[in-house]
Amino acid sequence: MLLFSGNMSFQTQVFLIALMCLCMGNQKSTCTPYALREDSSRRLKRQVINADSQDEFQSVSSLAQRLPALATTPPSPVGSGIEFSCDKDPSNSSILLNAAEFCKKCIETRNGVGYYEDPCDCRNYLQCDRDADLRIVAKRRQCAPGTLYENPVCVSCAAASCSQSLAPSPKCPKELKNGKDWPPTDHCHSAEDLINTDTCCCLGGFSYCPHVNLVTEYFLKPVYNCEPGVTKCDKTCCQKSCGKGAAFDPSVCRCVSVRGAIGVFDFEQRNISRKSEFLSKVLFYPADNNRVSLAEKSTAPQEVKHGQNSAMFIGRGGDLEIPRFNNYYWGHDVSITFWYRRQAALELVERELLHNGDCEQDPSIRFASRPSELLGQFLVVTNRGPPKRTDLKFTNLGNNEYLGVVFVYNGRNLTVYVRRENNDVEVQSVYSPGNIPSTLAPLSLGKALKCPDNASGDKPITQTGNFLGHVDDLQIYDRSLTLDQIQRIWTGETDIRGIA
């Protein structure tokens, strides 16, 4: 029999009942949201605790924290009998509520705060954490396209089992079949519209030639004689399309995938619906903004490299996070480009420009700014031996000038280009075969890698600081840019399309 004090609020009674149900109830699924049973005479409803009852709630929470730990059983996989409502609408509040309850059980019965599967969708995972008031916070994160969550990281969709989540259908997206099944059309063009026949491919009694202007089209021309170095073509030719996202490549005589950037932040404007965010111009995902504002060319032209605005970082407390690249596998083909202008040139603090690390782990990609210097650090893993870290340092850089940075990795060479305002370009390249690994951290701009020491609680492990200055035209590609494409970056071009 339960006895409650007469002056105890209804909210407190609900909390104690729920706590006892949790302690006494069966544990058939140790990492699933629990539900309060309904009584025929009273239905317990979830209530928001108002400000007047906050102190009382905290005192009850303190009491609960002093209770002995519960014995638990190993977590069961998500399956039949699990009480988790997977609403089809991701914006529905019940999804977020279920995620918070799911995180609560995972934190209590598994490995504490961390990353866990999303039972509703194998393409996502949950970041389960506590805020400053020790309340449970659940954030849903997305795996990179073509990957699915396999605890503790996102892996190729073909390798993922999705044993604890609902798998998408189809499990892997359809891939473009290069050079196959492109239907011919009835369009005909004269031979003069095609690229010089020296670049044509002679196969199967036809000459395959790309058009001068139509990069996504190629043409079949009947060949009268096709000896080595000799090609005679008719004046008319049949047109074939490479289809969406592809173009004809004369070097391999077939259609190949063509892609643009996977991320472009030109900082021309903020997200209209959420003014605290910046949106990528491609794929339209956000960069979470923490006190980063826009610098306008109309009032400070030296602070903007291209367009009308740039991102202004104020130093302490100002940064951007791009959750899209949380746990993103960079692999062996990646390019990242940006422009930056450092302020406070006389200080000696090392300030972070871009990285994918946090207090828990070292980044695999990092750029940091020092007075008159730029530091690049990269981690590459192979099937043989331990991971290899490469450091590249550029010195004698001008302060208070915009510097263009292009990082390219092709699975063999790590290459960084730095362009000064006088158009001089310095290049450093290191042979480092392998892959750039993922980290369980978002891609961050301007965010310090300063973490408290576990022993003292206040001693910093590193002395880096938040960036102080301006950043413009951040671009991310899942392919290695060519020299010609890098030249186009210098002119301010964004979302450059090319062969993947």
Domain count, the chain: 3
Q: Quick one: 421 and 322 in the same domain?
A: yes
For 314, how many CA atoms within 13 A lie in the half-sphere containing its CB? 10
Distance, CA of 189 to CA of 2 (rounded, Å): 89
Q: Quick one: 250 and 304 in the same domain?
A: no
Distance, CA of 492 to CA of 131 (rounded, Å): 41
> What residue type is assigned to position 283 of the chain?
L
Distance, CA of 54 to CA of 58 (rounded, Å): 6
Q: Quick one: 240 and 275 in the same domain?
A: no
**Are residues 84 and 104 in contact, defined by beta-carbon separation less than 8 angstroms?**
no
Of 288, 376, 294, the C-alpha closest to 324 is 288
Q: Quick one: 189 and 165 in the same domain?
A: no
Whether 139 is covered by a domain: the verdict is: yes
Q: Which two tokens stand for residue 492?
A: 């301010």
Distance, CA of 350 to CA of 335 (rounded, Å): 24
Q: Quick one: 363 and 426 in the same domain?
A: yes
Distance, CA of 99 to CA of 292 (rounded, Å): 29
Strand pairing class (254-259; 236-241): unpaired
Q: What is the pLDDT of residue 151?
A: 82
Distance, CA of 368 to CA of 448 (rounded, Å): 10
Whether 47 is covered by a domain: the verdict is: no
For 285, how many CA atoms within 13 A lie in the half-sphere containing its CB? 18
Whether 38 is covered by a domain: the verdict is: no
Q: Quick one: 267 and 123 in the same domain?
A: no
Q: Which two tokens stand for residue 478?
A: 């899942």
Whether 200 is covered by a domain: the verdict is: yes
Q: Quick one: 308 and 189 in the same domain?
A: no
Q: Quick one: 287 and 431 in the same domain?
A: yes
Main-chain phi, psi angles of 77, to 5 degrees: -65, 155
Distance, CA of 372 to CA of 8 (rounded, Å): 64
Each of the 500 residues of the chain gets a pLDDT tens digit; together they read 455 555 555 555 555 555 555 444 443 333 433 333 333 333 333 333 333 333 333 333 343 333 333 333 333 333 323 345 665 444 445 555 678 888 888 888 887 888 888 888 898 888 888 887 888 888 888 887 778 898 878 887 888 889 888 888 888 765 433 333 333 334 445 555 565 555 566 555 456 666 666 655 555 555 444 444 444 444 555 556 666 677 766 666 666 778 899 999 999 876 655 556 788 888 888 888 888 888 888 777 888 888 888 999 987 778 899 988 988 999 999 999 999 999 865 567 789 999 999 877 889 999 999 889 999 999 999 888 888 999 999 999 987 889 999 999 999 999 999 999 899 999 999 999 999 999 989 999 999 886 655 444 444 444 578 899 999 999 999 999 999 899 999 999 999 988 76
Q: If you ran DSSP here, which 8-state letter would residue 192 be given?
A: G
Q: Which two tokens stand for residue 359?
A: 């207090």
Q: Quick one: 410 and 478 in the same domain?
A: yes
Alpha helices in 163-319 (DSSP H): none
Among 225, 256, 287, the domain-final residue is 256
Q: Quick one: 299 and 341 in the same domain?
A: yes
Whether 267 is covered by a domain: the verdict is: yes
Q: What is the pLDDT of residue 130?
A: 83
Q: What is the CATH number of the domain that holds 333?
A: 2.60.120.200
Among 139, 169, 199, the domain-final residue is 169
Q: Give 206's contacts (C-beta < 8 A, 6+ positions apart).
A: 220, 221, 222, 223
Whether 65 is covered by a domain: the verdict is: no
Q: Quick one: 347 and 495 in the same domain?
A: yes
Whether 448 is covered by a domain: the verdict is: yes
Q: What is the pLDDT of residue 239?
A: 57
Q: Give 18's contacts (C-beta < 8 A, 6+ positions apart).
A: 36, 44
**Are residues 376 and 366 in contact, defined by beta-carbon separation less than 8 angstroms?**
yes
Whether 471 is covered by a domain: the verdict is: yes
Among 119, 137, 169, the domain-final residue is 169
Per the document, the length of the chain is 500
Q: Give 268's contacts (C-beta < 8 A, 6+ positions apart).
A: 307, 308, 309
Q: Which domain holds residue 349?
A: 263-499
Distance, CA of 292 to CA of 313 (rounded, Å): 5
What single string gives the DSSP state of each residue in 71-130? Answer: P--PPPPS-TT------S-TT-HHHHHHHHHHHHHHHHHSSSSEEEE-TT-TTEEEEEEE
Q: Quick one: 423 and 482 in the same domain?
A: yes
